[in-house]
Structure 1
Amino acid sequence: MLSEQSIPVVRATLPAVGGALDQITERFYGRLFEAHPELLRDLFNRGNQANGEQRQALAGSIAAFAVALLENPGSRPDVMLSRIAHKHASLGVTAEQYKVVHQHLFGAIVEVLGDAVTPEVAQAWDEVYWLMANALIAVEARLYQEAGVPEGAIWRPMEIAERHEETADTVSFVLRNADGTPTPAFRPGQYVSVQVTLPDGARQIRQYSLSAAPGRPQWRITVKRVDGDPAGEVSSWLHAHASVGDTVDVSAPFGDLVLPEGDGPLLLASAGIGSTPMLAMLDHLVSTGETRPVVVAHADRSPETHAHAAELRRLVEALPQGTLHVWYEEPGEDPSALRGRADVTALDLPEGTTAYLCGPLPFLRTVRGDLLSRGTAASDIHYEVFGPDLWLGAEA
Structure 2
Amino acid sequence: MLSTDHAQTIRATLPAVIEHGTEITAAFYDAMFTAHPELRNMFNQGNQANGEQRQALAGSVAAFARRIAHEDGAEAASVQLLLSRIAHKHASLAVRPEQYTIVGRHLLEAVKTVLGPAVTPEVHAAWSEVYWLFATLLIAEEARLYREAETTPADLFRPWRVVERRPEVEDVLSFVLSPADGGGVPGYRPGQYVSVAVTLPDGLRQPRQYTLSRVPSDGTVQITVRRVRGEGGAPDGAVSTYLHENVAEGDVLELSPPFGDLVLDDDTDPLILVSAGIGITPVAAMIDHLAAVSPDRRVLALHADRSPAAHALRDQIAAAARRMPELRRITWYEEPDGADTAAEEIRAGLMDVSGLSLPEKARVYMCGPIPFMRDVRRGLLDAGISDERIHYEVFGPDLWQQAG
TM-score (norm 2): 0.94
What residue number does 1:338 align with?
Answer: 347
What residue number does 2:193 align with?
Answer: 191
C-alpha deviation, 1:392, in angstroms: 2.7
What residue number does 1:355 align with?
Answer: 364
C-alpha deviation, 1:222, in angstroms: 0.3
Unmatched tracts of structure 2, length 5 or more: none
- SS of match in other structure, 2:304: strand
- Percent of aligned pairs sharing the same letter: 53
CA distance in 2, matches of 1:295, 1:56: 34
CA distance in 1, matches of 2:2, 2:308: 52
Aligned AA for 1:363? F
What's the RMSD between the two structures over aligned residues? Answer: 1.5
What residue number does 2:378 align with?
Answer: 369
Whether contact under 8 Å (1:171, 1:222) holds in the other structure is yes
- SS of match in other structure, 2:202: coil
* 1:40-51 superposed matches below 5 A: 40=40, 42-51=41-50
What residue number does 1:39 align with?
Answer: 39
C-alpha deviation, 1:129, in angstroms: 0.7
CA distance in 2, matches of 1:206, 1:219: 16
2:168 aligned with 1:163: no
C-alpha deviation, 1:215, in angstroms: 4.7
Whether contact under 8 Å (2:296, 2:326) holds in the other structure is yes
What residue number does 1:278 align with?
Answer: 283
* 1:373-388 superposed matches below 5 A: 373-388=382-397
C-alpha deviation, 1:152, in angstroms: 4.9
Whether contact under 8 Å (1:89, 1:152) holds in the other structure is no
Residue from 314, 322, 329 that aligns with 1:317 = 322
C-alpha deviation, 1:290, in angstroms: 3.4
What residue number does 2:133 align with?
Answer: 131
Residue from 99, 107, 123 that aligns with 1:121 = 123
C-alpha deviation, 1:311, in angstroms: 1.8
CA distance in 2, matches of 1:260, 1:152: 31
C-alpha deviation, 1:312, in angstroms: 1.7
Whether contact under 8 Å (1:274, 1:359) holds in the other structure is yes
Displacement over 3 Å in runs of 4+? none
C-alpha deviation, 1:304, in angstroms: 0.6
- SS of match in other structure, 2:3: coil
**Deviations 1:27-75, CA, capped at 9 Å, x for gaps:** 11111111111212x1110100000000000011011111111233562
What residue number does 1:233 align with?
Answer: 238
Aligned AA for 2:131? Y
Whether contact under 8 Å (1:286, 1:315) holds in the other structure is yes
Unmatched tracts of structure 1, length 5 or more: none
CA distance in 1, matches of 2:155, 2:355: 46
Whether contact under 8 Å (1:144, 1:152) holds in the other structure is no
- SS of match in other structure, 1:348: coil
C-alpha deviation, 1:314, in angstroms: 2.5
- Between the two proteins, the alignment pairs up a number of residues equal to 394
2:300 aligned with 1:301: no
- SS of match in other structure, 2:289: helix
TM-score (norm 1): 0.96
C-alpha deviation, 1:91, in angstroms: 0.6
2:281 aligned with 1:263: no
Distance change (3 Å), C-alpha of 1:9 and 1:73: farther
Whether contact under 8 Å (1:46, 1:231) holds in the other structure is no
CA distance in 2, matches of 1:159, 1:215: 15
**Deviations 1:192-231, CA, capped at 9 Å, x for gaps:** 0101111100111110000111454200000000013655
What residue number does 2:400 align with?
Answer: 391
Aligned AA for 2:135? A
Whether contact under 8 Å (1:46, 1:230) holds in the other structure is no
What residue number does 1:172 align with?
Answer: 174
CA distance in 2, matches of 1:134, 1:60: 19
- SS of match in other structure, 1:6: helix
2:82 aligned with 1:80: yes
CA distance in 2, matches of 1:150, 1:230: 34
Aligned AA for 2:10? V
Aligned AA for 2:125? Q
- SS of match in other structure, 1:71: coil
Whether contact under 8 Å (2:304, 2:351) holds in the other structure is yes
**Deviations 1:119-174, CA, capped at 9 Å, x for gaps:** 11111111111111111111111000000002453100000011101112000000
What residue number does 2:14 align with?
Answer: 14
Aligned AA for 1:165? P
Aligned AA for 1:63? A
What residue number does 1:329 align with?
Answer: 334
Distance change (3 Å), C-alpha of 1:3 and 1:15: same
C-alpha deviation, 1:335, in angstroms: 5.3
Whether contact under 8 Å (2:192, 2:259) holds in the other structure is yes
CA distance in 2, matches of 1:4, 1:359: 40
**Deviations 1:288-320, CA, capped at 9 Å, x for gaps:** 143221000111111111111122222223212
Distance change (3 Å), C-alpha of 1:150 and 1:335: closer
Aligned AA for 1:57? A
Whether contact under 8 Å (2:10, 2:66) holds in the other structure is no
